[in-house]
Amino acid sequence: MQIIHQAPLAALGLGAAFTVVWGVADPAMALAEIKTYIGVGQCAMGDLVTPQQAKTYARELAMINAREQAGVYLASYTRSSQANLTANEITAIAGVITEVKGEVKYEQMPGEVHGLPVVVYTATLEANVDTDGIAAWLRQSDEMKADMAGQSAAEKQEVQGSLQKIENLSQAYTRADSQQEKESIRNQFNEEDRHLSSIMKTRDAWLLYQKKEYEKALAGFREAIDLDPQYALPWTAMGVVYKSMGDRNKAMECHRKAIDLDPKLATAYNNIGGIYDDMGDYKRGLEYYQKAIALAPDNAVYQANIAYIYDKLGAYDKGIEHGQKAIQLNPESTVAYNNLGSIYDSMGEFDKAIACYEKVISLDVNDAMAYCNMGVAFYKKGDKDKALSYLRQAVAIDYDLDIAHQSLGQVYNDMKEYDRAVMHFKRAIEIKPGYQSAYVGLTLAYWHLEKYQEALQAIDKYLELDPGSEDAKKIRATIQNKLQHK
């Protein structure tokens, strides 16, 4: 999980209205095409490996081969589209958008391993890569992209390690002298085969999550756990899904279970830190981000996350230190530059913040949050025209970016264009129903439009979310008084 500081315009900010939006072109959509790659994988079937297992392993190796070819193409393609991606992100995209076309073809032929005859299965498949999928990836939030990239990298390493272990066990079995030794190897093999099946099931479930098919994804992760109850990764993956579904308690339970199974699973600590951050408990969030960094100090995402937390805690020097560390580890980390810019924004150093956001855009022209943050920075500098331009580009890239609609509403309220403000606030609330500041902004826009009944309904909704707000109660009383004397 990675975090982007959203730099809201005010604690109880105003905002929102629909306007014609325009912005950067989507390069991936403009150059959409389909590439086809031939993947080939081989597996020898000896006394230990069954024909079905040999086919499964050969197919998996063929998919790895196809994805590696797709990755080479994607690296070149995204550079030409001004969307520089990390190796892990390329691996994740290749996994998502590489699909097998038609049936996998299997061939078998005699072979030899350590002087013993075996049957070698060769799997050949055609895999399509649709560049429309790249555009879909680029439009996702940085948080989701980081989850996907981290999970994909871990899965790739696990699959390759498991396949290598299976091959080693198979070879050891052919060399074993005693029946007792063979039986021990067979037990290890069966255990590793179940583990590989669990890894593959976890990967398939993760792809469902990326398609936002959350219930199906959860079912897949549970199947993975049934195959290998000691495998920690599907537990923390379930936690990510539950967080996306808005169930923080279940998410926390899943991440803690993952840590019980694997106390060195850094991503689980990082994900718990993210949950505490969402809850506004920044000190607990810091505690878990520190644990993640202790286990993986060279992880740029974790460094960027802790920079964000220090920003929220007002420890700007430490935040800058970790933000710069994240950039040192990954000079193309958009989340690191976004978060570093956010720290400068909090310090009132808007030009430095803008320079960071410009760097993000140079790395990824489709990073909607960078345009949003840029718009906020220009608004704080008093340049409303540039603020509107960048905020419009943000929603042109990602119309579901709630903070961009909220910020547009703030600007339009300030410009006394209240009808536009209303429509943007409504959109922000539609995306994020519990968006408290959007309800306050909507209240004020309706007040200026003299739509007092609508203003009352908006502030009542805010009070449902925050019943103890004295400011909101005063606003409500003012509206109520107006209605009574209308």
- Distance between CA atoms of 432 and 17, rounded to whole angstroms? 16
SS3 content of the chain, % helix, strand, coil (to 5): 70, 10, 20
Report d(CA 313, CA 301) in Å as an integer. 19
Tokens (6 digits) for 255: 């991440």
Strands 98-113 and 34-45: unpaired
The reported pLDDT for the residue numbered 445 is 95
The DSSP letter of residue 9 is S
Task: Kindly tell me if the per-residue pLDDT of 18 is higher than 70.
Answer: no
Domains identified in the chain and CATH numbers: 9-26+384-486 (1.25.40.10)
Segment 430-450 mean pLDDT: 91
User: Is residue 50 predicted with pLDDT exceeding 60?
Assistant: yes
What percentage of the chain carries pLDDT values higher than 90? 50
Least confident of 93-107, 125-139, 289-303: 125-139
pLDDT beyond 90 at 127 = no
Mean pLDDT of 315-339: 93
Task: Calculate mean pLDDT across residues 197-201.
Answer: 90
CA angle 69, 74, 77 (to 5 degrees): 130
**C-alpha distances out from residue 475 to 412, 431, 478, Å:** 20, 25, 5
pLDDT digits (tens, 9 = 90+) for 270-323: 999 999 988 889 999 999 999 999 999 998 889 999 999 999 999 999 999 999
Q: For residue 349, report the phi and psi dihedrals to the nearest 5 degrees.
A: -95, 75
Strand partners, 364: 83
Would you say residue 77 has pLDDT above 70? no
Between CA 365 and CA 298 the distance in angstroms is 26
The pLDDT score that the predictor gives to residue 32 is: 53
> Is 9 within 8 Å of 376 (Cβ atoms)?
yes
- pTM comes to 0.74
Over residues 386-413, mean pLDDT: 94
Q: Mean pLDDT lowest for which of 28-37, 91-100, 266-275, 476-485?
A: 28-37
Q: 126 near 101, Cβ under 8 Å?
A: yes
Average pLDDT on 205-215 reads 87
Q: How confident is the model at residue 139 (pLDDT cuts 50, 70, 90)?
A: low
CA–CA distance, 241 with 69 (Å, rounded to integer):
30
Check residue 24 and give its pLDDT: 29
Q: Taking all residues of the chain, what is their mean pLDDT, rounded to a whole number?
A: 84
Q: How far is CA 23 from each of CA 29, 245, 246, 335, 386, rounded to the nearest angstrom?
A: 14, 30, 31, 21, 13
- Number of helical H runs and strand E runs in the chain: 22, 3
pLDDT for the residue numbered 466: 85
Which among 254, 200, 188, 208 is positioned nearest to 224, based on CA atoms? 200
Structure tokens at 140: 């996702």
Tokens of 290: 């520190």
**How far apart, in whole angstroms, are the C-alpha atoms of residue 138 and residue 143?**
12
Give the tens place of pLDDT for each residue, 163-181. Answer: 888 888 888 887 888 999 9
CB 406 within 8 A of CB 16: yes
Token pair for 363: 């790395």
Alpha carbons 415 and 411: distance in angstroms, whole number: 6
Nearby residues of 217 by Cβ (< 8 Å), 6 or more positions away = 205, 206, 208, 209, 241
